């Protein structure tokens, strides 16, 4: 079993290297004398995009285009991201619904009336274009929908298998899911929240555990080309906001007393502790947001940086070292996918438990 796992990880890492080579040369033929810009490549890879670049075929990129959905002064405007022809520098102008649109660093801009090209200031910011309301389906949004569909398929299949089972013994997919559900219940829900109150929070805890875990796994698949939802700060911010709202709404009298008027301490100390506790209310979700985002993004950046060494040194001799270290980081990343889902879930449960804890006499 260990050997098979090692072979799988090794294959995935080698496939990542092949995908990286194709990605590094995407749309930008570079001369032998031109320096390789590792920083731009890495930042371009980890951020969101309007298409999936799959591979290069005969010098041309093969991509899965996603829909561009904009709300402009002329109303709703839609078109395919393929109309930008993989241009991310604003050279290609798409004319739709009476407007002219360009793509700059994966951001869509609408040119001002009468403009035929993008003008930039000294800091390379467009001066004759503005951002319309962008509701486009980016690859992170697309993968979020895919993960939701996968989770629905898994749990609906498990529910049907339990319904058909006469003795209640899990089989097949249910045999894999049930221990995870029991783990979240017995090792997270009950200890952190309490035997009598954990049930009302289990739907949320199970949802974020599996939702974060499966999206972390998707982020490791090379063919998805960096569709890393958990490495998007907006995604982690939204999850943290949900935890914050549930914690705040669940707070009982004892919880708010410990925040605004700490019992058992002198009055001057109560006044001193109150602003600290109020700040702590917001620090907790912020730490949740940053921890998940930073850990997932860091792993991808390290792997891409290791692969970049091949192009920085312009030597194939460095390839075995890059692949070996990338293999090591990939193994760690596989473990981190589950660990980060566990940490986010257990900290959320801990906050719920603190909010609902009764006063001890």
| pLDDT tens-digit series, residues 255-290 | 898 888 888 888 888 888 899 989 999 999 999 999
Q: Is the dihedral of CA 171, 172, 173, 176 positive or negative?
A: positive
Question: Contact 122/112 with Cβ under 8 angstroms?
Answer: no
d(CA 244, CA 144): 21
How much is the pLDDT for 235?
92
- pLDDT score recorded for residue 300: 83
pLDDT of residue 22: 44
Could you tell me the residue ranges of all domains in the chain?
Answer: 67-136, 140-356
Q: Evaluate if pTM is beyond 0.85.
A: no
Stretches where the chain sits below pLDDT 50 are 1-3, 5-11, 13-31, 361
Q: Which residues contact 210 (CB under 8 A, 6 or more apart)?
A: 151, 154, 180, 341
What integer pLDDT is reported at residue 226 of this predicted model?
58
Confidence (pLDDT) at 21: 45
- Average pLDDT score over the chain: 83
187/216 Cα distance (integer angstroms): 21
pLDDT of residue 50: 82
The per-residue pLDDT for 2 is 45
- What CA–CA distance (Å, rounded) separates 354 from 150? 33
Give me the helices (H) in the chain, please. Answer: 2-24, 38-46, 139-164, 173-183, 190-193, 202-218, 233-250, 253-260, 267-313, 319-356
């Amino acid at each position: 079993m260990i050997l098979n796992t090692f072979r799988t990880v090794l294959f995935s890492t080698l496939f990542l290297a092949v995908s990286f080579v194709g990605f590094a040369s995407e749309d930008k033929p570079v001369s032998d004398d031109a320096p390789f810009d590792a920083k731009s490549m890495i930042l371009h890879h980890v951020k969101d995009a309007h298409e999936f670049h799959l591979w290069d075929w005969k010098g041309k990129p093969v991509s899965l285009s996603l829909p561009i959905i904009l709300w402009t002064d002329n109303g709703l405007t839609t078109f395919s991201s393929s109309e930008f022809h993989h241009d991310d520098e604003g050279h290609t102008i798409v004319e739709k619904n009476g407007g002219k649109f360009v793509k700059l660093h994966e951001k869509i801009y609408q040119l001002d009336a009468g403009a035929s090209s993008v003008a930039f200031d000294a800091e390379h910011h467009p001066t004759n274009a503005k951002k319309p309301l962008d509701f486009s389906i980016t690859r992170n949004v697309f993968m979020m929908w895919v993960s939701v569909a996968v989770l629905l398929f898994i749990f609906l299949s498990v529910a049907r298998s339990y319904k058909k089972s006469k003795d209640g013994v899990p089989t097949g997919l249910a045999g894999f899911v049930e221990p995870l559900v029991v783990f979240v219940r017995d090792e997270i829900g009950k200890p952190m929240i309490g035997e009598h109150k954990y049930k009302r929070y289990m739907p949320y805890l199970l949802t974020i555990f599996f939702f974060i875990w499966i999206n972390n796994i998707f982020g490791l698949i090379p063919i998805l080309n960096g569709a890393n939802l958990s490495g998007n700060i907006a995604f982690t911010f939204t999850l943290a906001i949900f935890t914050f709202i549930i914690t705040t709404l669940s707070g009982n009298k004892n919880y708010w007393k410990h925040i605004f008027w700490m019992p058992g301490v002198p009055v001057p100390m109560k006044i001193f502790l109150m602003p600290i506790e109020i700040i702590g209310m917001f620090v907790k979700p912020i730490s949740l947001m940053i921890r998940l985002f930073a850990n997932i993004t860091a792993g991808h950046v390290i792997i891409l940086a290791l692969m970049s060494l091949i192009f920085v040194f312009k030597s194939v001799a460095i390839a075995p070292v890059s692949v070996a270290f990338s293999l090591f980081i990939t193994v760690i990343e596989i473990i981190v996918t589950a660990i980060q889902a566990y940490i986010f879930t257990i900290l959320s449960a801990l906050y719920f438990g603190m909010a609902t804890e009764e006063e001890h006499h």
